[in-house]
Amino acid sequence: MANHSSPSDPDGSRRGISTQSVHAGEDRLKPCFALTDPIFCAATFNFENTGSLIEYVAKKLPRDEYARYGSPGDKSVERKLAVLEGGEAAVLYSSGMAAVAGLLLARLQAGDEVVLFDECYHRTREMCVKHLGKFAVVTHQVPACDYQRMEAVITPRTRLLVSESPTNPHLSVVDVERFAALGKKYGIETVIDSTLATPYNLRPLAVGVDYVLHSCTKYLGGHNDLVAGAVIGSAEKIEPLRKLRGVFGMISAPHNAYLLLRGMKTFALRMERHNANGLAVAEFLAAHPRIERVYYPGLPAHPYYEVARRTMGGFGGLVTFQVKDADEHQTARIVDAVRIPRIAPSFGGVESLIEQPIYMSYHDFARPQREALGIFDNMIRLSCGIENTEDLIADLKQALA
């Protein structure tokens, strides 16, 4: 189970994750004595005189110069993210996919190889295969959680092992200890996209994973009102990513950083409800006669239940299920019949969201391609928000009726 206390603060104390969500990374006294961090709408930051500029360059002083290289709001968010994940440093990006791109571009060059579990986010796979492939980076995809297959395709040119945990939308759970150990065995860096797990439910860095990646758009921001991404790790590993972000300009806007900082203050409280709603809804669906299959790692019938129970502090709010003896149109009628969840992409916000993956995320795929990836016509993905549990279940009950 994940440990819901965070690394030591500078004063030496150990504080719980909710306390850290509110206070970590922030100065106790802020500009103009404001309780909340101000929004710095500054593209550039001036120096008092030439001497102060020379001192900044020579001593690498911790201040800002130009917003493409970072700004005060970014730094507060990054410090908080690092504490929540138990890392030394974090780098904030304009989106989750910008974080993926920033990490891959920083760590890979022509001739290198990367190994992915095949349930990784389809845009991550597309970036590796279609786009990095144009620059002679070789991508190997192996079945999710098949560590023997992953090990079998490792070569002296392999530079990264990449996975999500849990995966989306099948919610397969990676044994992060085994995954990290495989990387250590061959001297290969490991990456876990922990967007679905969040630092509330999983701490990959604590078991030796090198990089943790988040789409902060989801649970960390939590209100469906911002787009951002981040990578967390050791200070040594994060610094090259930060420098490359400055070259490519993958920065988050000042208002985005403010919204993310504000959203994270209630992160732990929201995750309690997301976890509770996800488990209750999954149990309801698993017992319903119209449901063929439920994908949720908190259910004992899930193939990775034991791994999830051993490694995770909770199982999140995302539930995927298949409707028994239903085609795509019958399945769509259930989606249309719910009254609380909105039909929309994404997940992890306070509002419940619902979708059919064949229409929302895999509409460009032919049916044989979709089914090869485990995406079926009768599949529904439900992101449970923080509404009352009994209301969500009652709504699903009437929709299925």
Please state, in angstroms and rounded to a whole number, the distance separating the CA atoms of residues 48 and 62: 15
Among 118, 193, 377, 395, the active-site one is: 193
Determine whether 121 is an active site residue: yes
Among 15, 75, 107, 121, the active-site one is: 121
Task: Identify the residue whose tokens are 């993926």.
Answer: 100
Determine whether 262 is an active site residue: no
Helix (H, G, I), strand (E, B) or coil at 249: coil
Backbone angles phi, psi at 188, to 5 degrees: -115, 135
100: left (phi over 0), alpha (psi -120 to 50) or beta: alpha
Determine whether 342 is an active site residue: no
Question: Contact at 8 Å (CB) between 276 and 296?
Answer: no
Determine whether 218 is an active site residue: yes
Among 9, 56, 68, 359, the active-site one is: 68
Question: Contact at 8 Å (CB) between 246 and 255?
Answer: no
The alpha carbon torsion through 361, 366, 367, 373 (nearest 10 deg) reads -60
Question: Contact at 8 Å (CB) between 262 and 36?
Answer: yes
Question: Contact at 8 Å (CB) between 248 and 105?
Answer: yes
Would you please indicate which residues are annotated as catalytic (active-site) residues?
Answer: 68, 121, 193, 218
